[in-house]
Structures are given as C-alpha cells and as structure tokens.
C-alpha cells in the first residue's frame, strides 16, 4: 500500500472532518455506511442510481435492460503504519470475485480509482454500460483493491443480487407492465397488490378500479364481488336509487336496477311500503303493487284491502266493485255476501226488489184463496159436466200464479178471478 505525504498536515485534519460530515447519502442501496462513529475500512455499502435503476426490493437490485446503471460504492480507508496520509485504491464491479487485479487483465464490468486520506470514507460511482448485463438474475461483487503497478490483491468486497428486467415486460404476469407498476403504486412482483382477487392489470385496463384498494368505492363490497354482481365498483350506489349496493345485495333487491321487479315502484319506495321489491304483486291479489298504490289506493300487502271477502283484483277486474269499500252499493250488505247470494253488489235496489216480491207474492196467494176459491167452487156446481176440467185448469193456473208472485201483484183480484173462471 503506497501513501503520499501531506503537504499541509494541519489543513488535512480540517478536511477530514469536513469530508466525514458531508459524506453523500445513497440513492437506492443496501449498505450501511455513512453513520457517525469510528470509520470502518473496505467496502461499506452499495446503492444504485441512473437510468437503469428500476428499484430495490427484498434486497435485490432491479435493473432495466439496455439502460446504463451506476452503482454507488461506499469505501473506507485502511489505516496503516506510515509517515504519509494518502492512499490510492481501485473500486470495481464484476460478476466474478477476483482475488487480485491486474491493470492489463481487468475483466470487471466497470472500475474507478479513488484516493483516500487517512480515516476517510467516500462514495464513488461505478457505471455499468447498457447491455453489459443480460436479462435475468446475477450475483455481482463490488471490490476494493490497492491501486499499484502490477497485480494488486483484493482488500475487501461485498456481493449483491441484481435482476435485469424490461420496462415492457410483466414479471408477475398480472397484465400490468413492469414500468407501469413501478411508476405507480402497485407491486410489480405481486399480481394482486390489494388482495381483492382481481389482477392488477385487469383492474387498471378492464375495470377501472384501484389496484391498490380492494374496495375502490368504499361501499363495503370488495371489488371482485362487485365484478361478479355486475355493480359499479366506483360508485357506492350503482343504480342511483338511494339504496347503497351492500343494502340491496343483503335485501335481495337489484343493485343495478332501481326497480328490480319492474312494477313501476322503485326499490326504496317498496321498502318504505313494506312490499317485496322483487315481486310486482306482493300480496298476490292480481293487482300490481304500483296499481294498488297509484290507481286504486288499496293495500299492496293485503289481498283483500276492505275485508269484504273479495280479493282486490276480483273486485276491480270481475265485479266492478270498490276494493276499498266493503259495501260498494251501500245497501247494507257487504260485496262478498251479495256475490254469494247472487245479487248485484253494485246495485242497491236488487235486494229490496227481492224482498218485495217475496212479501207481495204471498199476499196475492192469500187473496186468491179468499176470493177465488169459493167462486170457483160455486161456478163448478153451476156448470156441471165441465167441472172436472175447470178444476184442473184452475189448479194449474193457481200454481203458476203462486210461483210468479210478481204477476199476482201487478194484476187486480178481479182479473185473476175472471181468468180462473174462464179456464
């Protein structure tokens, strides 16, 4: 090891302090140099910079292919017994660990010379040209040699791992290029950075979701589930109906259609009404929920809104009665009872006519018995031979009249008697 005398020893001491205090920081590296305390000797750390420096991940230097990369090697002076204060060294980066260095047989990828004063520590740049490293993984060595004529022994070295990749390549196979991943926030070694089940490339190029957030819209539904459900992973309420996606998915309504059952009522309205947003006729009465609410004013959750025994749909579509009024014609008899009796639930007079016919028909029969019976007998006695025929005809006529009480009510007693006598 050769050392050169210092011309101004006092000034050198000041320079030593200045250099140690202002030692440059590593750009991206693995070494642990540049700390306060006793100065160490040899190769103290390696970092990298320049166009070819992609990143350092897991202790591995990732380098872009076909780009130059500069390795920053921090070295410290070896303190020896000497009357001089300076020493010359040579720092190299190579893919082999050479025990010695000969200037005429240097097979390193790159090398640089450095002069250190006693106890000095410094970071030097060793630039590897583009194309010097093939794609793939390599173990490289940063070595420190005594810089003397002829063969120089290796004083110290440090190994580090390098992987050469391309910007347009896809190391993790997620459909997202290495360069894009490193310029963004995704992990170029992990195909699914946020762990949501969707590859980063698909999230970026196909879905438009955030590959670093497993729930892009923050609605509580992971992006992968939103893809399966066909909801919008960028909107908490995909269909804009006022119900967020998790609520609709949990309640079996459609998060992609504001009216899941297409009955004319939006899902939030149906929830307020208590109807089923997936069934257009919740109570099964034959009327859609929309018609019950908007047209008829009936209860869409009760098949018989007025409790008259007739379903709302039957009242509207078959009988023409009011499904909100148990007695549509106001005659005192509920619609369901009128249907059972065979009367018209929309006409208030049919029951009165029936009652009147029953009462007056009985009166006509009684009158006929009081006034016609004796006369008929007397007439039969007077006529003699035609009595049997007359009696049979009169009996038939009476039966007809008794069965038709309305006719007996409309015709006077005298007319009835005359008709019976003639027959």
Report the distance separating Cα 148 and Cα 79, nearest Å.
17
Tokens 């004319």, residue located: 264
Look at residue 106 in the predicted model and tell me its pLDDT. Answer: 76
pTM of the predicted protein model: 0.55
Q: For residue 30, count other CB atoms closer than 10 A to its CB.
A: 16
Look at residue 350 in the predicted model and tell me its pLDDT. Answer: 62
Report the distance separating Cα 275 and Cα 282, nearest Å.
6
Is residue 27 over pLDDT 50?
Answer: no
- Fill in the DSSP letter of residue 306: T
Q: Phi/psi of residue 59, each to 5°? A: 80, 5
Report the distance separating Cα 171 and Cα 180, nearest Å.
12
Look at residue 147 in the predicted model and tell me its pLDDT. Answer: 86
Give 378's Cβ-side CA count (13 Å radius): 6
Residues facing residue 45 across a β-bridge: 74
Options 3.90.1300.10, 1.25.40.10, 2.70.98.60, 2.60.40.10; CATH for 3-165 is 2.60.40.10
- For 277-302, how does the pLDDT look when each residue is reduced to its tens digit (9 = 90+)? 888 898 999 999 899 998 999 999 99
User: What are the structure tokens assigned to 340, written together?
Assistant: 């059972």
Please state which of the ranges 10-24, 124-138, 263-277 shows the lowest mean pLDDT.
10-24
Q: For residue 373, name the pLDDT band (cuts at 50, 70, 90).
A: very low
Give the closest residue to 202 by CA, choosing from 175, 220, 229.
Answer: 175
Phi-psi map region of 230: left, alpha, beta (phi>0 left; psi -120 to 50 alpha): left
CA 110 vs. chain centroid, Å, equals 54
Tokens 């990143």, residue located: 55
Residues facing residue 101 across a β-bridge: 152
User: What are the structure tokens assigned to 290, written together?
Assistant: 């929309």
- The full set of domain ranges for the chain reads 3-165, 167-214, 216-258, 350-422
Q: For residue 197, name the pLDDT band (cuts at 50, 70, 90).
A: very high
Is residue 26 over pLDDT 50?
Answer: no
- For 230-276, how does the pLDDT look when each residue is reduced to its tens digit (9 = 90+)? 888 888 988 888 888 888 888 777 887 788 788 888 888 888 888 88
Is residue 357 over pLDDT 50?
Answer: no
Classify strands 136-146 and 86-94 as parallel, antiparallel or unpaired: antiparallel
User: Which CA distances in Å does 49 have to 28, 68, 195, 374?
Assistant: 7, 9, 31, 139
Report the distance separating Cα 151 and Cα 26, nearest Å.
31
Tokens 């490193």, residue located: 182
Is residue 217 over pLDDT 80?
Answer: yes
User: What are the structure tokens assigned to 371, written together?
Assistant: 């006034």
- For 144-192, how does the pLDDT look when each residue is reduced to its tens digit (9 = 90+)? 998 887 788 899 999 999 999 999 999 999 999 999 999 999 999 999 9
């Amino acid at each position: 090891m050769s050392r050169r005398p210092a011309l101004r020893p006092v000034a050198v001491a000041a320079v030593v302090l200045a250099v140690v205090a202002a030692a440059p920081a590593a750009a991206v590296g693995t070494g642990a140099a540049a700390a306060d305390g006793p100065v160490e000797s040899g190769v103290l750390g390696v970092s990298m910079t320049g166009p070819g420096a992609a990143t350092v991940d897991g202790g591995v230097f990732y380098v872009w292919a076909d780009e130059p990369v500069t390795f920053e090697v921090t070295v410290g002076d070896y303190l020896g017994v000497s009357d001089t204060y300076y020493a010359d060294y040579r720092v190299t980066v190579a893919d082999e660990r050479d025990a010695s260095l000969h200037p005429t047989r240097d097979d390193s990828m790159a090398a640089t010379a450095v002069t250190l004063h006693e106890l000095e520590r410094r970071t030097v740049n060793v630039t590897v040209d583009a194309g010097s490293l093939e794609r793939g993984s390599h173990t490289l060595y940063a070595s420190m040699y005594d810089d003397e004529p002829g063969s120089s022994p290796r004083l110290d070295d440090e190994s580090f791992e390098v992987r050469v990749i391309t910007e347009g390549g896809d190391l993790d196979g997620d459909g997202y290029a290495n360069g894009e991943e490193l310029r963004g926030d995704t992990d170029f070694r992990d195909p699914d950075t946020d762990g949501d089940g969707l590859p980063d490339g698909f999230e970026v190029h196909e879905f438009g979701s955030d590959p670093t957030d497993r729930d892009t819209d923050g609605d509580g539904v992971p992006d992968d589930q939103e893809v399966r459900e066909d909801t919008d992973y960028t909107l908490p309420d995909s269909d804009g109906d006022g119900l967020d996606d998790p609520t609709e998915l949990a309640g079996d309504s459609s998060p992609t259609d504001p009216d899941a059952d297409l009955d004319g009522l939006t899902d939030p309205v149906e929830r307020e009404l208590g109807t089923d947003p997936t069934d257009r006729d919740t109570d099964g009465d034959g009327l859609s929920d929309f018609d019950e609410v908007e047209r008829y004013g009936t209860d869409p959750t009760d098949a018989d809104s007025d409790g008259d025994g007739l379903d709302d749909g039957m009242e509207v579509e078959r009988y023409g009665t009011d499904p909100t009024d148990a007695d549509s014609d106001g005659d005192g008899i509920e619609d369901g009872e009128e249907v059972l009796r065979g009367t018209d639930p929309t006409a208030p007079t049919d029951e009165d006519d029936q009652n009147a016919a029953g009462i007056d028909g009985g009166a006509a029969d009684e009158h006929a018995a009081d006034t016609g019976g004796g006369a008929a007998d007397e007439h039969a006695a007077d006529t003699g031979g035609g009595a049997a025929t007359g009696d049979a005809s009169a009996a038939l006529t009476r039966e007809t009249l008794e069965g038709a009480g309305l006719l007996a009510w409309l015709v006077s007693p005298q007319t009835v008697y005359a008709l019976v006598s003639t027959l």
